[in-house]
């Protein structure tokens, strides 16, 4: 058995380690500029797939497919980002008789299109944010939909992601500019300009449920992650479980996530994302048909290795755990350590890591593709490491993360480490009273962004 990892960085390292623990050989792919990358060193085989830019390498389907065929790989794990949710890549692998660790292309297409996913959620009796019935194809349709939805509202790209193709419209006179702007940005980023509209929820929490579904129809959820702390719609810190979900709400949201996974005929590990308002109303937002960056916090509170489960599912094995057997234990927090300068508009900070010391100890985990002497390149994501801790409760987890950040030492590049340290001390985080816009007003400990 051999798995090719169509990715790089910490997630490639994470997958390689899980595969080796299952006695499975691994194949790495890499851009020419990354021949010294850690995932290349750890894999059993490695193939160069192109030049330094992602479009020439990690998004080069032909070269990745050639590497998979040449290496004799039985399965491809896409990680996250890049080609992980690309139905064309999934289809090409199938045509080459190579397995894919993830759902079918039909499921990807259905759940990747936000308006289609919303329609399916309605059929599965999963609450959705009130909005347009599918895509809005003209300005006149947008005006008609706005009369029903009311202001403020959101215009969102149907094939969107990463905060692209989204406009908030506060009043009617702003509708035209926002509609045309969202369509233009959607076309530029996703190759198509379809948009839909929905009610704008003020200061919601972003809660996501991890699900697993095997080829035998077994479906479970592994509780929730709170991903509300975002800067420009990019997640900064995640924790599990959410500090503000009641047991009743957790149960209802988990059951809704399972219904949607079953309705979409999902296969593998996926994430159902919800928005939750002040009255504990929850609404389906989107589904990510891949492993998430923040999956370690779920692993810490459940004891389930999600990467190994993905591989087991792809090999046709049943889930190793039932819903009844799962227990939510303790509290976990993840801080994303990025090569970026918080004091300079979070500008990327590529360069040579001249010294690196990661913290260690009981229930402290570091997921990283970096080492001392590695050069952080400007062509890819700026993540240096994910620092994850687990405590018997949230208070212990916060103290453990503060201690771990104190011990973390990275020299040669600027990182957001100090930003994370300040965030952990902020009152809105300490109390758990935060939302998706809290970081917009966070000024390194001087402004309280509480609800």
> Could you give the residue numbers annotated as active site?
290
User: Alpha carbon of 305 to those of 45, 135, 149, 212, 392: distances in Å?
Assistant: 24, 38, 42, 11, 19
- DSSP-derived secondary structure for 119-187: HHHHHTT--B-SB-SS---SHHHHHHHHHHH-SSEEEEETT--TTTTEEEE-SGGGHHHHHHHHHHHHH
> Would you tell me how many other CB atoms lie within 10 Å of the CB of residue 303?
11
Return the structure tokens found at 47.
């193939």
Contact 9, 295 (CB under 8 A): no
* Cα 280 from Cα 202, distance rounded (Å): 13
Residue carrying the six token digits 């989107």: 286
The gap between the terminal CA atoms of the chain, to the nearest Å, is 51
Whether omega before 7 lies within 30 degrees of 0, making that bond cis, reads no
How buried is 224 (Cβ within 10 angstroms: 0-12 exposed, 13-18 middle, 19+ buried)?
Answer: buried
């Amino acid at each position: 058995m051999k798995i090719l990892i169509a990715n790089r960085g910490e997630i490639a390292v994470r997958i390689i380690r899980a595969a080796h623990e299952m006695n499975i050989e691994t194949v790495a792919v890499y851009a020419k500029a990354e021949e010294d990358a850690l995932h290349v060193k750890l894999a059993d085989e490695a193939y160069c797939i192109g030049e330094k830019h992602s479009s020439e390498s990690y998004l080069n389907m032909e070269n990745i497919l050639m590497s998979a065929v040449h290496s004799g790989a039985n399965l491809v794990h896409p990680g996250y980002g890049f080609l992980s949710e690309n139905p064309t890549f999934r289809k090409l692998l199938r045509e080459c008789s190579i397995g894919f660790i993830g759902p079918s292309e039909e499921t990807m297409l259905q759940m990747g299109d936000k308006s289609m996913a919303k329609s399916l959620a309605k059929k599965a009796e999963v609450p959705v944010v009130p909005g347009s019935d599918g895509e809005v194809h003209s300005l006149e349709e947008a005006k008609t939909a706005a009369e029903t939805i009311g202001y403020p509202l959101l215009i969102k790209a149907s094939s969107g992601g990463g905060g692209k193709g989204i406009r908030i419209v506060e009043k009617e006179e702003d509708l035209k500019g926002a509609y045309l702007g969202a369509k233009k940005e959607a076309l530029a980023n996703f190759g198509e300009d379809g948009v839909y509209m929905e009610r704008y929820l003020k200061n919601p929490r972003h809660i996501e449920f991890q699900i697993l579904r095997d080829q035998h129809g077994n479906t479970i959820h592994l509780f929730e992650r709170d991903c509300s702390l975002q800067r420009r719609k990019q997640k900064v810190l995640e924790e599990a479980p959410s500090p503000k979900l009641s047991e009743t709400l957790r149960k209802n949201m988990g059951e809704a996530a399972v219904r949607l996974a079953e309705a979409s005929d999902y296969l593998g590990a996926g994430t159902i994302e919800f928005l939750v308002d002040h009255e504990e109303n929850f609404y389906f937002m989107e589904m990510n048909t891949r492993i998430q960056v923040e999956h370690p916090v779920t692993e810490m509170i459940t004891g389930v290795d999600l990467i190994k489960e993905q591989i087991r599912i792809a090999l046709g094995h049943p889930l190793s755990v039932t819903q009844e057997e799962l227990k939510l234990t303790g509290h976990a927090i993840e801080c994303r350590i990025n090569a970026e300068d918080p004091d300079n508009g979070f500008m990327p900070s590529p360069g040579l890591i001249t010294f690196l010391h990661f913290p260690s100890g009981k229930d402290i985990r570091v997921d990283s593709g970096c080492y001392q002497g590695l050069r952080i390149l400007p062509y890819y994501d700026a993540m240096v490491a994910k620092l994850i801790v687990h405590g018997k409760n949230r208070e212990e987890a916060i103290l453990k993360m503060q201690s771990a950040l104190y011990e973390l030492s990275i020299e040669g590049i600027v990182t957001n480490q100090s930003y994370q340290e300040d965030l952990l001390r902020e009152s809105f985080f300490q109390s758990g009273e935060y939302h998706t816009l809290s970081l917009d007003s966070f000024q390194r400990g001087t402004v309280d962004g509480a609800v």
